[in-house]
Amino acid sequence: MSSKFYYDGITLDRAHHLRMDEKWLAENLSADPSGDLAGKNLRIIPVWRSKSLIFTGGQIQAAILTGRAAEEVRQNAATLVFLGLEGDTIYCAADLSHADDPHSLGLPADTAFEDLRGLATSLDPIDAGYLAYARAIIHWHLGHKFCGICGTETAVGRGGHERRCTNPDCARIHFPRTDPAVIMLVTHPSEEKCLLGHNKRFRGLTYSTIAGFVEPGEMLEQAVVREVFEETNIEVVDVAYQASQPWPFPASIMLGFRARAVTTEIICHDQELIDAKWFSRDEVHEMAKGDESLPPSNLSISRWLIDSWLFEK
């Protein structure tokens, strides 16, 4: 499968069967008595308080650790999660959030923890996908240290892909969750304009596609119709799925759609959007020449949806 967006280029085999193989996990993720890694091809991706580790010397690169640095982090991690395999190379995420100074845990000197979203497209797309995966699953662990049913502490299982309540009377098993969100390019009834909004959280004067979370008991198509109307007063039909993108901020997947409007009067109902407008293709082309009017190209599904409409004629 070819990559369309940032964070979606991972070719990792998630190796579900190995998550349940305690013997394999012990042999490959733990250290032998001499202190050497039993897993000869182990790669560790540290996460600290939702930030990702990068090398700071010269060009910005993802710090995916090997050798002695990987062993130091493995020994000091609050939680170690088996992410999967790339050939015979084992990838793990390591949570260092418990440390006020994570560099005291043996990290390389020329590294720093940075906000992954803030790095935009500075990182190699494949590496960014690995960092996104690690960030998302560590975020889940940090929020599920205690059972949401009885409040008892939970224990890590299946290589970090479950947490089990330690209360024998409860024993509830909790699994990682991803929050589905819809994001849509809405076209004018004439098809010659598209609807873009300026969210109060956006920096500068950026306009983007409409988006929102799916609610319980709701179809994706219903979420598209509801969110567009709630935010802009526009009624839409012909809702059609386009593509999806992992979005670990903190733990979402963006489900991209196209929809056609049947009304045109814009009213920003819920104050999520400061402004929303219909833009012609010429206007969007002009916006694309600037640095801040549209979402960055190659970063988000939002820009891909806009460009797909913009260049379809």
CA distance 296 to 307: 11
**Tokens 């990182």 sit on residue:** 123
The whole-number pLDDT of residue 313 equals: 64
Is residue 69 located within the same domain as residue 122? yes
Those residues whose C-beta lies under 8 Å from the C-beta of residue 87, and which sit 6 or more positions away, are none
- Phi, psi torsion values for 303, nearest 5 degrees: -65, -35
200 and 134 fall within a common domain: no
Specify if 276 maps to a domain.
Answer: yes
Check whether residue 102 and residue 34 sit in a common domain: yes
For residue 3, the model assigns a pLDDT of: 63
Strands 79-86 and 89-95: antiparallel
Residue 68 sits in a domain of what CATH number?
A: 3.90.79
Residue 43: the pLDDT is: 94
In the chain, how many domains are there?
2
Task: Out of 123, 142, 161, pick the residue that ends a domain.
Answer: 142
| The two three-digit tokens of residue 208, written as one number | 């983007």
Instruction: Return the pLDDT at 38.
Output: 45
DSSP 206: -
| 170 within a domain of the structure (yes/no) | no
Task: Examine the domain organization and report whether 184 and 138 are in the same domain.
Answer: no
Q: Are residues 190 and 304 in the same domain?
A: yes
- Going 156 to 160 to 163 to 168, the CA torsion angle's sign is negative
Residues 251, 199, single domain; the answer is: yes
Q: Are residues 198 and 270 in the same domain?
A: yes
In this structure, the answer to whether residues 212 and 130 fall within a common structural domain is: no
Whether 130 is covered by a domain: the verdict is yes
7 within domain boundaries: no
Both 183 and 113 in one domain: the answer is no
Tell me, yes or no, whether 210 lies in a domain: yes
> Which among 120, 142, 164 is the end of a domain?
142
Cα distances (Å, whole numbers) of residue 126 to 50, 51, 129, 247, 312: 19, 17, 5, 14, 28
Q: Of 142, 166, 191, which closes a domain?
A: 142
Residue 285 lies in a domain: yes
Tell me what the pLDDT averaged over the chain comes to: 90
> How many alpha carbons lie under 13 Å from residue 22 in its C-beta half-sphere?
2
Q: Which domain holds residue 65?
A: 16-142
DSSP string computed for 57-115: SSS-EE--B-HHHHHHHHHH-SEEEEEEEETTEEEEEEE-TT-SSGGGGS--TTEEEE-
Regarding whether 132 and 246 lie in a shared domain, the answer is no
Residues of the chain with pLDDT under 50: 1-2, 33, 35, 38-39
pTM of the model: 0.90
Per-residue confidence (pLDDT) for residue 297, from 0 to 100: 73
Domain-located, residue 9: no
305 in a structural domain: yes
Residues 135/248, Cβ–Cβ less than 8 Å: yes
Same domain? 128 vs 23: yes
3-state DSSP call for residue 282? helix
* pLDDT tens for each residue of 110-164: 999 999 988 877 888 889 999 999 999 999 999 999 999 999 999 999 999 999 9
φ, ψ at 246 (rounded to 5°): -60, 140
Same-domain pairing of 137 and 201? no
Q: Which has the closest alpha carbon to 194: 280, 119, 313?
A: 280
CATH at 237: 3.90.79.10
The reported pLDDT for the residue numbered 300 is 85
